[in-house]
Chains A and B, each alone.
Chain A
Amino acid sequence: MKPYTMDFDVKARDFSSAGESSSKFRKTLLMLSIPSDIVRRASIAAYEAEMNIVIHSYGGKMHFEIYSDKIVIIAEDTGPGIKDLELAMKEGYSTAPKEVIEMGFGAGMGLPNMKRNADTMEIVNHDESGTKIVMTINF
């Protein structure tokens, strides 16, 4: 069965449109009759991934695949990667710049929150060339 796919470009540091792709993704999930707790978990995972691109990267893409039994979320950016992955996975650890934290973003919950809400999360790549994260949520 052909999935429904969605693709979005995400700009670095563009806080005015930050979260838009996750919001459109969320609305689509509702229209596709996805159960409400899955909608919530998938929206959180997508939002955190999108905000990571906005806050930390040089820009990137969000890709969504929706099947009748699972959702795949792929977040991919063009760098600078995650230096210390183990630290980044710790709750409350943040490398976000001061001014971003002052805006109320980058509380160091991004990766842990994604991991908590997705059934599987794979960090395919996280070197200087960029970061690629693949998450799936099954139902």
Chain B
Amino acid sequence: MYFHSVTLDRDRCKGCTNCIKRCPTEAIRVRDGKAKIIKEKCIDCGECVRVCPYHAKVVVTDDIGMMENYKYKIALPAPSLYGQFKDMTIGDILTSLQSCGFDEVFEVAYAADIVSYITRNIVKTKDYKRPIISSACPAIVRLIQQRFPSLMDNILDIMPPVEVAGKIARDEAKKKTGLKDEEIGVFFVSPCAAKVTSVKNPIGIEKSYINGVFSMRDVYSMILDKRKFVEKKIDHTSSMIGVGWANAGGESYGTSLENCLFVDGIQNVIGVLEDIELGKLDDIDFFEGLACVGGCVGGPLTVANNFVARNRIMKLKEKLNKDEATKKYIEVDFNEFMLNVKLKKSDVLNLDEDIDKAIDMMNSIDEIYKSLPGLDCGSCGSPGCRALAEDIVKGFASEYDCIFKLKDRIKILAEEINKLSIKIPPVIGSDKEVKP
């Protein structure tokens, strides 16, 4: 079964319909007064988590207690973690994180350095379709599978930094400790709901190298608790390029390609992907699309305001050097870090796989749509009138879910009842003549 990180806390949901309209893939309906996520359509972008006034949309992450199932525990902090704390150096953060019960901390920023290094080299030798599209944001990759399948060939086939980090950390720990694979636990400290999902349902690889994903929010308070007691001892290894991945544009910068375009915010990304498909952006070498405003520093599991966090990342970067980090991995075989499972197009938008049948359904949708008021109010529980018409034809909704339709119908019935009520049965009284 497909696992989703974004889920509903039923008790908190008021059925207010705020989220259904903001969902970029129209994946939410309100039914029986509660928001229902259509799991095949959801890309875990986190928009509904941000928009729900009652905090009824929750990002399910792993319980920190699961660490205890492993002999050797490795934490993989996302680069965005460095932007969450005031007056803490990267070294302070890493040391405090390690003292939360991990045997080792391995920076995802360091893996991002390696991914940038591979990207810089591979684009020189391999013939990619332009623009090359980043594979780093899983919400965007899933969006492309669903809405822009013709662009799947443009996606860069390198593993995202978190998986590169997982693989290297795991392999090194095995060598160092002699422990078995299943005795080593690798845990990602995530700003992101979509990445929780892609650890359970990997994109482009057979199996994830990560055992669990912890919410940055949960880890944040643990780090604050530890910070007073630890003396700085861990030195970080990532360069300004890897740390820069926390912000939108960081990956682009790392490619060293001349003509890069980075776009944040899921609706903005959709607009630009349309332009790419129309061939309007063929002059762009690299496209970095990020679902969250600001990039991963704006992820739904972060704590700090994303503008503040973005600024902190910029400040931290200034103190770092450029490419020290990758030196050790220059000899590495790139093939180890390439995606090797072909991406599949998603068919969830299709009304029916048979085109003739789909055309029939589309004609019925149009007919029903014409009879609806066109207010897109959402009171029916679908994101708009067109979506309700679709739901009706697919058999998930009824015409009278529309309150205006229902009101009209009640009016007609009431008039009918009124008319009938005036009629008096002949037994009680009627001056009608009786004819033979």
Binding site for B on A (CB under 8 A): 1-4, 22-23, 26-28, 30-34, 36-37, 39-40, 43-44, 47, 66-69, 113
Contacts and interface: CB of A to CB of B under 8 A. Distances in A.
Contacts of B349: 27, 30-31
Interface string B122-153: 00000000000000000000000001011000
B278 A4 contact: no
B350 A31 contact: yes
With most chain B CB atoms within 10 A of its CB, the pick from A1, A4, A39 is A4
15 contacts: A2-B363, A3-B359, A23-B274, A31-B350, A32-B350, A32-B351, A32-B355, A32-B359, A33-B353, A33-B358, A36-B345, A43-B277, A44-B278, A66-B359, A68-B359
A130 B349 CA distance: 37
B145 to A, nearest CB: 10
A40 B277 contact: yes
Contacts of A3: 359
A28 B355 CA distance: 12
A101 to B, nearest CB: 14
B359 A1 contact: yes
A31 B358 contact: yes
Contacts of B355: 32-34, 68-69
Interface in B359-375: 359-360, 362-363
Contacts of A44: 277-279
B363 A39 contact: no
A12 to B, nearest CB: 21
Given A27-B349, A33-B352, A39-B149, 9 more contacts: A26-B274, A28-B362, A31-B358, A32-B362, A36-B149, A37-B150, A39-B150, A43-B278, A44-B277
A68 B353 CA distance: 11
B87 interface: no
B206 interface: no
Nearest to A37: B150
